[in-house]
Amino acid sequence: MTIFIVLLGPPGAGKGTQAKVVSKTLNVPHISSGDIFRENFNNQTSLGKVAQGYIQRGELVPDDITIAMVRDRLSKPDCAQGAILDGFPRTTAQAKALDNLLEEFSHAVDVVCYMKVPQAVLLERLTGRWTCREKGHIYHERNNPPKQRGLCDIDGSELYQREDDQVETVKRRIQVYFEQTAPLITYYQDRGLLVEVDGARSVGQVTDQLLTIAKRVQRKDDGA
């Protein structure tokens, strides 16, 4: 059976971390808008160049650019049995576009997990994050520090703080989220698809809750 899960939540909620674990357990791909953007950045596509400017300012990428990238990714064979969507949709317009995209492939969103985290926790998580230049491995100066300061444990490359992880940009990203993305909560609530998850708990506790939700959806679809 197929299962399409949307992970909804502000920057720093832990969507990427959870999506990797849940996708592996359910054996469906993790589709991250961030990864799709970076692939386009690295290939210097026209869409990538435009999107990069918005991200560096802590703003949302325009819908038509994002949707075009996601459409291409969902058309890949590994999405035939479902996917974990992380970072998309971010607006109600994107949510409606996602419905249309999945309908093209005879699928639909099965459940939306809203990872709720207090704003103070989000700031602490994001401003302490450092990224590996070589492969993008993520560290946190408090919660997951590297063995050697400033260097990646895995490939030894330099760690740097992305512009969108610096304090002022982080505050702007969170503000943009609550202004433009939070209405998705109402959108999915009205459709009976939203389930709230306490994203401030430990990684393992959040994972357990997400997998429980996924299994419940699968049983429902099976008619159990």
For tokens 């109402």, what's the residue? 186
Q: Is-catalytic flag, 15?
A: yes
Q: Is-catalytic flag, 149?
A: no
Average pLDDT of span 38-61: 82
For tokens 């609530």, what's the residue? 189
Q: Residue 35: helix, strand or coil by DSSP? A: helix
130-146 pLDDT per residue, tens = 999 988 888 988 888 99
Q: Is-catalytic flag, 216?
A: no
Could you tell me which residues come within 8 angstroms of residue 79 by beta carbon, excluding any fewer than 6 positions away? 28, 29, 31, 73, 105
149-194 pLDDT per residue, tens = 999 999 999 999 888 788 888 888 888 888 888 889 999 999 999 9
The dihedral over CA atoms of 166, 170, 172, 174, expressed in degrees to the nearest 10, equals 180
Q: Is-catalytic flag, 219?
A: no
> What pLDDT is recorded for position 181?
80
85-108 pLDDT per residue, tens = 998 898 899 999 999 999 998 999
> What pLDDT is recorded for position 223?
62
Distance CA 154, CA 134 (A): 10
Q: Is-catalytic flag, 191?
A: no
Specify the pTM: 0.80
For residue 209, name the pLDDT band (cuts at 50, 70, 90): very high
Average pLDDT of span 37-58: 83
The answer, yes or no, to whether residue 208 has pLDDT greater than 60, is: yes
- What percent of the chain shows pLDDT beyond 90? 48
Q: Could you tell me where the DSSP H helices lie in 43-192?
A: 46-56, 63-74, 92-104, 119-127, 167-176, 183-190
Selected catalytic residue, list 162, 171, 172, 201: 162
Give the burial class of 18: count Cβ atoms within 10 A of its Cβ; 0-12 exposed, 13-18 middle, 19 or more buried: buried
The answer, yes or no, to whether residue 224 has pLDDT greater than 60, is: no
Could you tell me which residues come within 8 angstroms of residue 60 by beta carbon, excluding any fewer than 6 positions away? 54, 90, 91, 176, 180, 181
What DSSP character marks residue 30?
E
Of the two residues 6 and 73, the one the predictor is more confident about is: 6
